[in-house]
Structure 1
Amino acid sequence: MNKKNTLDKPEFSAGLLHPKYWGVWLGFGFLALIVNILPYAVLLKIGRGVGSLGIKIGKSRAKIAKRNLELAFPNMSAKEIDDMVEENFKNTGMALIETGITWFWPTWRFKRILIAKDIDELQKHQDAGKGVLLCCVHALNLEITARAFAVLGLPGYGAYRPHTNPAYEFIQYRGRTRNGNQLIYRRDLKQMVRVLRQGHRLFYLPDQDYGHNKSVFVPFFAVKEACTTTGTRILASTSKSAIVPGSGFRNPQGKYEIIADKSIEQDFPHKDEDAAAAYMNKFVEEIIMRAPEQWMWLHKRFKSLPDHSLTNSRYQ
């Protein structure tokens, strides 16, 4: 990949060994140790156990997840919602372990937990030299999904916000660039368009509420006015790239099923930002429903309303 498109790789310096960073080194060192010495089945139990503990101490987040589900699925019973929240927290705990797996497992071991269920669409575009806006979602195992595509020979560029702690950033940058993935500053729209025009893949996540800027209010699940980014239309229309929904959820056997769906840019309503956002939301919904318990319901997905003065009123 073209190095000029990417963020500068943080270099190691003696300053990173200052005592104020020891907690970061010890924490990630311990995580790297346990994910490498323990079998996956044990790691899964540990991760889900951490999540079970989290629901007891993270009551405010549990309340957010519950409210999101009530808004998105008004026909879901109270027990179904409570069960989903509990499962979501268990998967949130597992996300910590999955981050360790992604950042610290050797490639040969990482490959063992992947199932390339359908990636032919991306291979087709790669062979044709066409850029792809690979639209994924904030699955709790997103770190694994991003590395999985790279391990399968389809690395991409990810939008990235550097961490303010330099030791954390040193570790995180290397973890997220395994097997050829690269990083672009999350607000650098010009670079995103450039890599797409150059025929690369750009990981893009259009599923959260990013606020009113460059957003419209369109249906998302049962919510008729959900704040939705117009970024998909901006990037795809400007770069003339393909648009491919993608996912990587964990199945009951503990394997991660990597999927790249068929391209959707031909029917994508490029000239109408409301229609384009609503169109993309339908595919986002389909992806989430493959494993809804593994999506990030702890985020306030419906916090913004068309009337700025009512922001967050859905959670009060």
Structure 2
Amino acid sequence: MAGSFSNHRIDLDKRLVIKGMEHIEQARADGKGVLLLGMHFNSIDVGSRLLGYLMDFYAVYRPNDNRVIDRLINQGRGNYLKGNVPRSDIRQMIRLLRNGEVLWYAPDQDYGIAHAVFVPFFGIPAATITATSRIARMGKARVIPTAHYRLPGGRYQIEFGPPLENFPSGDDEADTARINQTIEHYVRKHPEQYLWVHKRFKHQPDGAHIYR
């Protein structure tokens, strides 16, 4: 089994295109923790595995309600993750970042209106949590956009963008709007690969429901 996994890894490495790795290397050289601004593309599972070949990192996730399934998910992801962090455990996220770790965090889902503001995403108000700027500020981390795409010919690409400058700014709503703008920039490159099934616009300011 180990040999099979190793061969699969070598095959994936041959099909992987990496852009912007220098941004990660610079942050690590500066002794900074890295908050990877993740995005939910349909290549998220293979993208996470490929990312694990490039660096040790932790990932923030929503624990499954079924404890057995949650344990199996954690065991499977343990092959390429340094560890999983429940999305409610802000304290652990901050501790990891202050210790110079890399943490994948994707705020591009509608988690409800609690602890969220409505800011545009593709021109439509989207309930977006404001925790990103707080985690970055308290963790003293660089925030680096991280996208992963499928390419023709069975190839994949991981793209790291430049760290967000002057982030956080002290204005949570402005920071959250900037997060959505940043994610939108990367989604526009391959909009057909984004996980729109996550109902990104489920809640609206006037109480209306886009999805029926």
Q: Indicate yes or no: 2:86 matched with 1:158.
A: no
Question: 2:17 aligned to 115, 125, 133, which one?
Answer: 115
Residue in structure 2 matched with residue 182 of structure 1 by the alignment = 83
Deviation of 1:104 (Å): 9.6
Q: Does 1:219 align with 2:120?
A: yes
- Any conservation in 1 of the 2:136–2:168 contact (CA below 8 Å)? no
Counterpart of 1:294 (choices 174, 193, 197) is: 193
In structure 2, the residue matched to 1:125 is: 27
The CA deviation at 1:193 is: 0.6
Alignment of 1:237-276 (within 5 A): 237-264=137-164, 266-276=165-175
Amino acid paired to 1:315:
Y
Separation in 1, partners of 2:37, 2:7: 25
Give the whole-Å Cα distance in 2 for the aligned partners of 1:187 and 1:163.
13
Provide the C-alpha distance between the structure 1 equivalents of 2:48 and 2:114, rounded to a whole number of angstroms: 26
5+ residue gaps, structure 1, are 1-31, 37-102
Q: Separation in 2 of the partners of 1:105 and 1:207? A: 33
Counterpart of 1:83 in structure 2 is none
Q: Is the 8 A contact 1:133 1:196 kept in 2?
A: yes
Cα distance in 2 for partners of 1:171, 1:109 equals: 25
Residue 199 (structure 1) aligns with: 100
Following superposition of structure 1 onto structure 2, how do residues 80-159 of structure 1 map, counting pairs within 5 Å? 106-152=8-54, 154-159=55-60
Instruction: Verify the 8 A CA contact 1:104 1:175 in the aligned structure 2.
Output: no
Q: Aligned residue pairs: how many?
A: 210
| TM-align CA RMSD | 2.2
**Deviation of residue 162 (structure 1)?**
3.8
Residue matched to 1:60: none
User: Residue 257 of structure 1: CA displacement?
Assistant: 0.6
- Give the secondary structure class of the aligned counterpart of 1:314: coil
* C-alpha displacement of 1:301: 0.9
State whether residues 237 and 270 of structure 1, in contact with CA within 8 Å, keep that contact through their aligned partners in structure 2: no
CA-to-aligned-CA distance 1:207-241 (integer Å, 9 cap, x gap): 11111111101111121x22111111110111111
Distance 1:218 1:270, change over 3 A: same
Note the C-alpha offset of 1:303: 1.2
Q: Who wins on radius of gyration, i.e. which is larger?
A: 1
CA drift of 1:167 comes to: 5.1
Q: Which amino acid aligns with 2:147?
A: S
CA distance in 2: counterparts of 1:305 and 1:255, whole angstroms? 37
Moved more, 116-125 or 198-207: 116-125
Please give the alpha-carbon distance, in whole angstroms, between the structure 1 residues aligned to 2:139 and 2:68: 35
- Secondary structure of 1:267's counterpart equals coil
Tell me which protein shows more helix as a share of its residues: 1
Q: 1:159 to 1:104 in 2, by over 3 A?
A: farther
Q: Which amino acid aligns with 2:210?
A: R
Output the TM-score relative to the length of structure 2. Answer: 0.89
Look up the SS of the partner of 1:191 in the other structure. Answer: helix
Conserved? CA contact 1:268–1:279, under 8 Å: no
3-state DSSP class of the match of 1:137?
A: coil
Q: Which amino acid aligns with 1:151?
A: Y
Distance 2:65 2:211 in 1: 29
How far apart are 1:200 and its partner, in Å?
A: 0.6
Q: Contact 1:217–1:227 (CA<8 Å) still a contact in 2?
A: yes
**Structure 1 residues 214-272: Cα deviation after superposition (integer angstroms, max 9, x where no partner):** 1101111121x2211111111011111101001110112221111111001x3335311
CA spacing shift, 1:211–1:164, aligned 2, 3 Å: closer
- Inter-partner Cα distance in structure 2 for 1:220 and 1:304: 13
Give 1:77's aligned residue.
none
Contact 1:116 1:257 in 2 (8 A): yes
**Could you tell me which residue of structure 2 aligns to residue 65 of structure 1?**
none
Kindly provide the CA deviation profile for residues 86-134 of structure 1, in whole angstroms up to 9, marking residues without a partner as x. xxxxxxxxxxxxxxxxx99742233233112221111111222210110
Cα distance, 1:180 vs structure 2: 4.5
C-alpha distance in 2 between matches for 1:267 and 1:129: 18
Letter in 2 for 1:259: E
Equivalent AA in structure 1 for residue 149 of structure 2:
F
Q: Which residue of 2 aligns with 1:24?
A: none
% identical aligned pairs: 34
